[in-house]
Amino acid sequence: MCADRLRPPALVLLGVAGSGKSTIGRILADRLGVALVETDDLIATATGLSVGALVVSRDPRLPDLQRRAALEALAPGGIGAAGVVTLGASLPTDPEVALALDVAHEGGARIVELVVDTAELARREGLNAPRSVALGAPRAMLTRMIRSLRQTYLRVADESVDTVGVAPATVADQVLAGM
């Protein structure tokens, strides 16, 4: 068995949806010559449905599917071994996933949070369109969600890299400079 297959991921990217995990993860994986493993893709492959579709349908399997995908991607010798892994936004709040992140980190994985603010997230995700007041205040909800998740990310990440107004290739350069 190749020694890389016994390692944890080389790099784990955390961040809210729209922070750039997929785009920057692809760049980093290409530059490092390793695989990119995205937990959302693992779930889509296993179920035939996107995570978004599972969320919208309120599929009760989603939390377990997310946890299993993260544990599979983070395990030493798992499918994310020596590669770049992206985790769904809330996964680091799961106690089992948090433990797996600790184990991966102790094994040498670098954990990086990709930071985005509410205004940029709204722009990237197309949330700037006018909407009914019946939907409430989506920006306020996004701000609370980002603030809450950042507290978790800051506890586990080696570094936080701001992605607002920064080209993905430049963000990748910053991440690689920290390795």
Question: What are the structural domains of the chain?
Answer: 3-169 (3.40.50.300)
The pTM of the full predicted model, rounded to 2 decimals, is: 0.88
Give the pLDDT confidence of 101-157 residue by residue, as tens digits: 999 999 999 999 999 987 766 676 665 555 544 555 666 777 888 889 999 999 999
- What are 179's two structure tokens? 């390795």
pLDDT computed for residue 127 by the predictor: 59
Sign of the dihedral through C-alpha 126, 24, 65, 67? negative
**Distance from C-alpha of 125 to C-alpha of 142, rounded to nearest angstrom:** 11
Classified as helix, coil or strand, 9 is: coil
pLDDT computed for residue 132 by the predictor: 46
Which helix or strand (DSSP H or E) is residue 111 part of? strand 110-115
Give the pLDDT confidence of 30-66 residue by residue, as tens digits: 999 999 999 999 999 999 999 989 988 999 999 999 9
